[in-house]
Structure 1
Amino acid sequence: MVSRTQFHGDRAGVRKNGLRQKTLKRAIPCRGVGLHSGAVVEMTLHPAGADAGIRFRRTDVTGRDPWIAARYDRVVDTRLCTVIGNDDGVTVGTIEHLMAALAGCEIDNAVVDIDAAEVPVMDGSSEPFVFLIECAGTVELDAPRRAIEIRRPVTVGDARRGLTLAPAEAFSVDFEIDFPSPVVAHSTLDVRLVNGTFKREIAKARTFGFLEDAERLRAMGLALGGSLENTVVVDGDRVLNEEGLRFDDEFVRHKVLDCVGDLYLAGAPILGRVTATRSGHHTNNEVLRALFADPTAYAIVEMTDTAQAYAEALPATA
């Protein structure tokens, strides 16, 4: 298991050519509806110190530990979203869109205060969270930014549904989806998450669902906050949202978004290539557990300006 304590180092030894950790410049609040609960949620993003990582704090909880580390080994449910929890049974769900925004904006440390068990869905994408982060501003901390360098391939699942992490100089995702729906259908996207690519190409992609599943999900107490304002709804051979799609391939782009958010639960950026076939939250978490179970498959390294320059020189898409 990789913990934040393993990232600790001599702060005085931050090299001049090394990248530094970032946090928010100031706190910033937001308000929205939980996708599954339908409840109104108040959430505030706060700055945090070096090596703190991303942590959630349930402000509505009394008598139990309100803190939950945003870490792969704290994932307790992956059915329709990613849910993390602590030893006191306190949970926060639907964290993947916010985690993807934090990853895309290179926020290493933050505290997320939230008064409910679910992150607000906003418009179903990461774009509102990217906007919040940009409004708050970012600041560098006096500590090196570290990454998880993939040293050898790690695979979970199979050819039908699986995910592989492989060595690479920069973080990239090659994702394939295949649905029986004529609207969603088969689609692939190969994208390098460098030089602002996440904000331009991925952040706006919204979550999606099928009208035929809505009644079943609501009977299960799920998707109670889902609407055309926060979900791309597919009915047979058409999209019900009046404005249509934001991208021709918005469906696969959102799957990439989910994958980016889920993998940021590694506790640091990943230097490696992701190849995913019909992967979902469960598989995304499973590959992190497999990775950290094998100490020979990864190394914790400091991110340098040289590595960043190499990454930014790569084209955004393959």
Structure 2
Amino acid sequence: MKQRTIAKAVEIVGIGLHKGVPVKMRLEPLEANQGIIFYRSDEALTIPLKIENVVDTKMATVIGKDGIVISTIEHLLSAVYAYGIDNLRVVLDNDEVPVLDGSSSGYCMLIDEVGIKELSESKKVIKIKKEVEVRTEDGKRVSLKPSNHIVYDFSIDFENPVIGQQNYHFDYSIDEYKENISKARTFGFLHEVQYLRSIGLAQGGSMENAIVVDDDKILNPEGLRYENEFVRHKILDAIGDMSLLGYTLIGEYDAHAGSHHLNHLLTKKVYESEENYEILDLDEAQKESYVFQKAYALVDAN
């Protein structure tokens, strides 16, 4: 199986979640072995997607270099990662990726519109060989476990009656991602939104790009897209955060009450020991190559 990029460039303008200002974003194809690269056109600065470039994980995954940052990258990366795109240049004229509708479905539509191009170099993946876990004292945890498949298991437990306990098991394929994960929107509580705005954040947040929960009700007039949309969005975020590994994952991600911060610690911990992983060339790994061919079968390379 070969590396992938997009077949041609595409450009959109959207609103940044926190500053609430328009952001122009252009996705450009790259040649093999270039990876995912962000470029701030207003600052003339390139920031490669690497674990060491993560500078903040409180409200979103933020990368930066020389004091210049790019925020809220996880929804875009979730779609890029889900489509198996290995090489891509993301050009932005501000410090946030457009939030669109709070999910990654808009990015899936962009990729479908321009198409996928297969390159001449073979695709490389990271296969988990040994379980790696990050756990907090209050019971939150994230882990990666060995598997010949791509699996995401996530559970959440909120005291709020609208959310409560939810769990979801996701066996990866592009088709399943588009149907069951990509449409799940980010969410927040009304009191949190009010606080964030008071400190200059979430200026672009609205019920057009997030689920807003107030005590025992959802304020969005259209309601939920899925009964368990909250936990599905957590998987969407996790897929985007795992893109920081630098290669498409073969393994099982399992989490309870995971977060961007724990996901970042998990990707760092994987690389602490070569016993935890191996990098495979899919042209040489027959069994894993079959798994990927099946998972990506519903996207035609142009």
Normalised TM-score (structure 1) = 0.89
Q: 2:40 matched to 1:58?
A: yes
Write out per-residue CA displacement over residues 94-147 of structure 1, whole angstroms, 9 at most, x where no aligned residue: 000000000111111000000000001000000001111111111100001111
* Cα 1:131/1:219, change in 2 over 3 Å: same
- SS of structure 1 residue aligned to 2:121: strand
Q: In the alignment, residue 131 of structure 1 is paired with which amino acid?
A: M
Which of these residues, 111, 136, 156, is aligned with residue 134 of structure 2? 156
- Per the alignment, residue 39 of structure 1 pairs with 21
**In 2: Cα distance, 1:227 partner to 1:263 partner:** 27
Deviation at 1:310, TM superposition (A): 3.9
Q: 3-state DSSP class of the match of 1:293?
A: coil
Confirm or deny that 1:142 pairs with 2:159: no
1:176 is aligned to 155
Of 296-305 and 223-232, more deviation after overlay is shown by: 296-305
Aligned to 1:94: 72
SS at match of 1:254: helix
| Identical amino acids, percent of aligned pairs | 39
Instruction: Classify the secondary structure of the residue corresponding to 1:272.
Output: strand
| Structure 1 residues 312 and 141: CA distance shift in structure 2, 3 A | closer
Could you tell me which of 218, 225, 229 is aligned with 1:246?
225
Q: 2:244 aligns with which of 265, 282, 295?
A: 265
Residue 288 in structure 1 maps to residue 277 in structure 2: no
Would the aligned equivalents of 2:83 and 2:174 in 1 still touch at CA under 8 Å? no
Q: Distance in 1 between matches of 2:203 and 2:286?
A: 46
Deviation of the 1:195 alpha carbon: 4.8
Deviations 1:218-276 (A, max 9, x none): 12221110001000001111111111101110000000000000001111111111110
Give the 5 Å matches for 1:1-318.
Answer: 19-62=1-44, 66-86=45-65, 88-158=66-136, 160-303=139-282, 304=285, 306-310=287-291
Contact 2:140/2:257 (<8 A) preserved = yes
Q: Under a length normalisation based on structure 2, what TM-score does the superposition of the two structures give? A: 0.93
CA–CA separation in structure 2 for the residues paired with 1:132 and 1:100? 13
Corresponding letter in the other structure for 1:23 = T
Structure 1 CA distance, aligned partners of 2:174 and 2:210?
28
* CA deviation map 1:39-82 (0-9, x unaligned): 110000000010101100001115xxx10111222110001000
Residues 4-50 of structure 1: CA deviation (Å, up to 9, x unaligned): xxxxxxxxxxxxxxx00000110000111000111110000000010
Aligned partner of 1:48: which letter? L
Q: Secondary structure at the match of 2:118?
A: strand
Q: Distance in 2 between matches of 1:29 and 1:83?
A: 21
* Cα distance in 2 between the residues matched to 1:44 and 1:313: 30
Distance 1:191 1:176 in 2: 12
Q: Which runs of 5+ in 1 are unaligned?
A: 1-18
Alignment partner, residue 299 of structure 2: none
* TM-superposition CA deviations, 1:142-163 (whole Å, max 9, x none): 0011110101011111471111
Instruction: Give the gaps of 5 or more residues in structure 2.
Output: 296-302
Q: Is the 8 A contact 2:183 2:225 kept in 1?
A: yes
Question: What is the distance in 1 between the residues matched to 2:50 and 2:176?
Answer: 24
Q: Give the secondary structure class of the aligned counterpart of 1:140.
A: strand
Partner letter of residue 309 of structure 1?
Y
268-277 vs 155-164, which deviates more? 155-164
Report the AA paired with residue 77 of structure 1: D
How far off its partner does 1:308 sit?
4.4
What is the Cα deviation at residue 277 of structure 1? 0.7
Deviation at 1:307?
A: 2.5
Cα RMSD for the two superposed structures: 1.5
Report the secondary structure of 1:31's partner residue.
strand
Letter in 2 for 1:50: A
